[in-house]
Amino acid sequence: LAIQAFLRGSSVVVSAPTSSGKTLIAEAAAVATVARGRRLFYTTPLKALSNQKFRDFRNTFGDHNVGLLTGDSAINKDAQILIMTTEILRNMLYQSVGMTASEGRLFQVDVIVLDEVHYLSDISRGTVWEETVIYCPKEVQLICLSATVANPDELAGWISQIHGKTELVTSNKRPVPLTWHFSKKYALQLLLDGKGKKMNRKLRMSNFQNLASPKSEFYYVKGKRRLRTNKNEQGNRSPLDISKQVQLSKHELSNMRRSQVPLIRDTLSQLWENDMLPAIWFIFSRRGCDAAVEYLEDCRLLHDCEASEVELELRRFKMQYPDAVRESAVKGLLRGVAAHHAGCLPLWKSFIEELFQRGLVKVVFATETLAAGINMPARTAVISSLSKRIDAGRQLLTTNELFQMAGRAGRRGIDTVGHAVLVQTAYEGPEECCDIIFAGLEPLVSQFTASYGMVLNLLAGSKVTHNQKESDDLKVKRSGRTLEEARKLVEQSFGNYVGSNVMVAAKEEIERIQQEIQYLSSEITDESIDRKCREELSEEDYTEISLLQKKLKEEKHIRNELKKRMELERMAAWKNRLEEFESGHLPFMCLQYKDKDSIQHTIPAVFIGNLNSFADQKIANMVEEDSLGSGKQKVDSGEQLYCPTYYVALSSDNSWYLFTEKWIKTVYKTGLPAVPSVEGGTLPRETLKQLLLREEMMWDKVAKSEYGFLLSMDGSLDTWSWSLNVPVLNSLSEDDEVERFSQEHQDAVECYKQQRRKVSHLKKTIKNTKGFKEFQKIIDIRNFTKEKIERLEARSRRLNRRIRQIEPTGWKEFLQVTMHLFLYSYFFHVTLCRISVIFILFDVIVADIISKVIQEARALDINTQVIYPLGETAAAIRGENELWLAMVLRNKVLLDLKPSQLAAVCGSLVSEGIKLRPWKNSSYVYEPSSVVTGVISYLEEQRNSLIDLQERHNVKIPCEIDAQFAGMVEAWASGLTWREIMMDSAMDDGDLARLLRRTIDLLAQIPKLPDIDPVLQKNAQIACSVMDRVPISELAG
């Protein structure tokens, strides 16, 4: 259908599952286009994916017919089929907006393929896809390939409206059907029922059959299979004897869930037994991927001939790229397991991909970036968790993300069925898996935002004015579009298209809901309830119930205060007892909390110590900044203040926990002895403290109260062996529990119980009054009304979220950036004197005084819309903050720098997101030269002024400069080898490679930018040629 629509001359939107053959449509279009002697552009969201498509298309169409365009190089750029990233195409289109294809940069281009067009919803990059569609000449056919989304009709409708006739082709059918499984410690079962409509009932936690221990055979390094028995390998973690129980409490269900969490070896054994390899195993952290490979180094997944072949390929790779070998991964690779994530060098990742495609790697542990279109299909996709860590904590996967990863399963032409395996975790079970699967796909949402580059390129346009009067400091370069012309382009965004219909209806419904909530709320006020009671009850009954209700309210208040005092006394008692355990052995303990559904969870753990006992600045900062939320609570009505203390424990599921006395249920007398694990070694408490300090301190909030938070963080492979020593709670007796009750706590408990009995007695008295039945009816109606209000408010919140997603955006942000460009220009003109200023347009409603300032500062000729040199540079550059980059590159201070020093400064501009890895034993030792340090310090002052202006005018575009890694860039640009730098670095090799590639990309732009000093351009070329070498050079084909 899609090919037929294309041949009819229509643009096409294809929405289909991952690995369903969408690329075949692009290949068919390429055949037709090449046959006509015309050109086709194929865009991808990732440079790695562009390289892969380049190789694939060359194999199909021949080397001479296919080219590749990257940010800093081009291969056969005049070929009939040209592969590039979407950002590069967008930048080409900037110069062609309003032109036909034959007039602009798209000469002889008949077709543009936008692969992975669902990236339109990506928060950081979605604007690029919208701009590409908006600016594309209408005579060029678009083929938009998307994963399955909820609103492909809206996408097709939008493209049809702004670009021309567009046909939609959708399919939910996969060439290789997908089967969902769920892995527990002792079983791998189907996740869904026979119809695939709901959860398999055998997975319910109350179904005891799940705990049956099946056979579990597995290859080990000695080549022998071992049968795992029901006994736990550590001797103290056997499953509960469920056969003797009839009904499980919430507490027991919580413990059972934890006992069912499989180790990686358990799940891998299940895959092996069921012939479900090869597999891609998604773990949402690089460290987790590497730890998994290290954990499985003793397993053997390859036959002898396969292992020999891997060894041969590894030897060849090492001869060709000696510095690209990831030595820590070699042992696992020879066993058939590997990691694939952003911390690996691109060359090494390509090597792993090749081995996996040839069946020489059986399991690849990968982060979710592997789901983004790289051609590595497997028989099975394993998703290790339903949540992943983000800057703000942890968040659940969306349905789209889950299906994108699961879509890697099933190799067309090889497998008859693909397998998606979800894994039991301590907090996520089959119910949560089914919730996400059946939640429905998310719609594409516009992320259209304005940037300096967009503003300048749209306003600059293609109208060139020559031979105007020039001055030394304000040289006119060209004039461009009017504000109204720019507005027509910006308002063609996808968000505006969707919002015009959906938003109106949503706002009308919200208004109706708010009116109903207002009316219902007025019906349940105290005054309204009192009025209804007077109407329905006799005077005598009303008076009696009113007095009793008033008395009940007072007694409840007293009860709550006594409960609070009881809790504070309990916590104070625990604080005193825990001081005794700050030295000596490490006692076992039990933490407890209730989740959002009021289900109580218990956590067996080993106590380590008071947070204040950690002599480390990271920990001290956490306490000093009060980031843990440890408030102060008054005890009784006295003057004494109670301050909760934070403690650290390691749980049986290998998680760190930070907690106050609030979350302690029990402490046991038994624990880990205070003796070194090896002769002459450190004591267990000190060892565990050191292991904690090596973590990244990315804590997740598990529960909160006025007495502090309960926080958790994943442990490491090093802490895993320690966590195995924590016994299950059932193996500890009540006799082992520490006596913790003080006399004050016991008195508080007794007072609370007496008051609770008093409240209960009053309730019974009210219930026995003559008018209680009528009174209860009124209360029931009030409670029902409250529930209805809650449902309406929830509906209103959902609608408001949808409105925020689809609210027409773009023009407001466009004007904000435009105004800021003017204000920036004025600021630097009056303070830095003869610096070239940037042109700006302003809204016609701006006050007269702004017009006078614009003319006085000569930032803009209001009649001719003139752009000046700094604007020319910013419009041509690619980066997150084009204005800031242009400011730096036009600064005279860079002209005295050597090529390596220039590279260091450029590296400091593009290091966002690059991190040191605190668990590594070394730290970076390459400090930048004093000249580079001085230049960066000077530029930081310029940046601060730009940031101040942005903040004052609500322009939220990052403005980065960071000297942290400048020395490493300078070392590489000075000729140091990769091995020398990595030996002295705490960075992942993939991070360093990415930093150096970003630096090369920026350096490669400098010679092509307008109005840049030739000295700087020459130095940039020299630095670029020195830096672009193995193992980070990009070799395509």
| Angle CA 619–620–621, to nearest 5 | 90
Q: Are residues 415 and 458 in the same domain?
A: no
Give the pLDDT score at 571.
85
Task: From 816, 813, 820, 850, select the one nearest 838 (Cα to Cα).
Answer: 820
Which pLDDT score, from 0 to 100, does residue 97 have?
Answer: 66
Q: What is the CA radius of gyration of the chain?
A: 33
Question: Positive or negative, the Cα torsion across 796, 798, 801, 802?
Answer: negative
Q: Residue 239 has which token pair?
A: 């499953």
Does 550 map to a domain? no
At residue 364, the pLDDT reads 96
Give strand pairing partners of 381: 280, 420
pLDDT at 61: 93
Is residue 54 a part of any domain in this protein?
Answer: yes
Tokens of 788: 């209805």
Q: Is 566 part of a structural domain of the chain? A: no
Strand, coil or helix: 255: helix
Q: Rounded distance, CA 568 to CA 773, Å? A: 39
Q: Are residues 895 and 1030 in the same domain?
A: yes
Q: Report whether 236 contacts 315 (CB < 8 A).
A: no
Q: Is residue 248 part of a domain?
A: no
955 and 858 fall within a common domain: no
> Structural domain of residue 484, as residue ranges?
449-493+809-868
Please tell me the predicted confidence (pLDDT) of residue 255. 65
Whichever domain contains 351, its CATH number is 3.40.50.300
Of the residues 417, 437, 457, the one at which a domain ends: 437
Residues of the chain with pLDDT under 50: 206, 208-249, 462-479, 626-627, 629-639, 826-863, 919, 921-922, 1035-1037
Residues 335, 336, 341, 345: what is their CA dihedral angle, to the nearest 10 degrees? 70
C-beta of residue 342 within 8 angstroms of C-beta of residue 286: yes
Tokens for 326? 């990831």
Q: Which is it for strands 217-219 and 187-190: parallel, antiparallel or unpaired?
A: unpaired
- Is 243 within a domain? no
d(CA 987, CA 999): 16
Domain boundary among 841, 868, 895: 868
Which pLDDT score, from 0 to 100, does residue 579 have? 84
Can you tell me whether residue 388 is helix, strand or coil? strand
Tokens of 534: 């007077």
Q: Going by C-beta distance under 8 Å and a sequence separation of 6 or more, which residues neighbour residue 71?
A: 47, 85, 88, 878, 1001, 1004, 1005
Residue holding tokens 């993300």? 401
At residue 700, the pLDDT reads 83
Give the count of beta carbons closer than 10 Å to the beta carbon of residue 363.
29
858 and 892 in a single domain? The answer is: no
183 and 160, same domain (yes or no): no
246 within a domain of the structure (yes/no):
no
CATH code, domain carrying 918: 1.10.3380.30
Whether the pTM exceeds 0.85: the reply is no
- Give the pLDDT of residue 852: 33
Shared domain for 921 and 823, answered yes or no, is no
Last residue of a domain, one of 739, 768, 785: 739
Within-domain flag for 652: yes
| pLDDT given for residue 1032 in this prediction | 85
Residues 134 and 162 both lie in one domain = yes
Three-state DSSP at 999 gives helix
**Is 928 inside any structural domain?**
yes
Q: What pLDDT, on a 0 to 100 scale, did the predictor assign at position 626?
A: 46
pLDDT tens digits, one per residue of 717-761: 788 888 888 887 777 777 778 876 677 778 888 888 888 888 888
- Asked if 382 and 470 sit in the same domain, the reply is no
Q: Are residues 220 and 156 in the same domain?
A: no
Cα–Cα distance measured from residue 591 to residue 56, given in angstroms and rounded to the nearest whole number: 55
Q: Are residues 862 and 1000 in the same domain?
A: no
CB-CB contact of 1013 with 836 (8 Å): no
Q: 792-796 — which CB contacts under 8 Å span 24+ positions?
A: 792/513, 792/516, 792/517, 792/520, 793/517, 795/513, 796/510, 796/513, 796/514, 796/517
Collapsed DSSP state (helix, strand, coil) of residue 36: coil
Label residue 996 left, alpha or beta by phi (over 0 means left) and psi (-120 to 50 means alpha).
Answer: alpha
Q: How far is CA 485 from CA 208, 458, 495, 819, in A?
A: 69, 9, 19, 17
Same domain, 294 and 393: yes
Query: Structural domain tally of the chain?
Result: 5
Instruction: State whether 183 and 326 are in the same domain.
Output: yes
User: What is residue 770's predicted lDDT score, i.e. its pLDDT?
Assistant: 82
End-to-end CA distance of the chain: 32
Print the SS3 string covering 79-144. CCEEEEEHHHHHHHHHCCCCCCCCCCCCCCEEEEEECCHHHHHCCCCHHHHHHHHHHCCCCCEEEE
Instruction: Please state the φ and ψ torsions of residue 3, each to the nearest 5 degrees.
Output: -65, -40
Beta bridge partner(s), residue 348: none
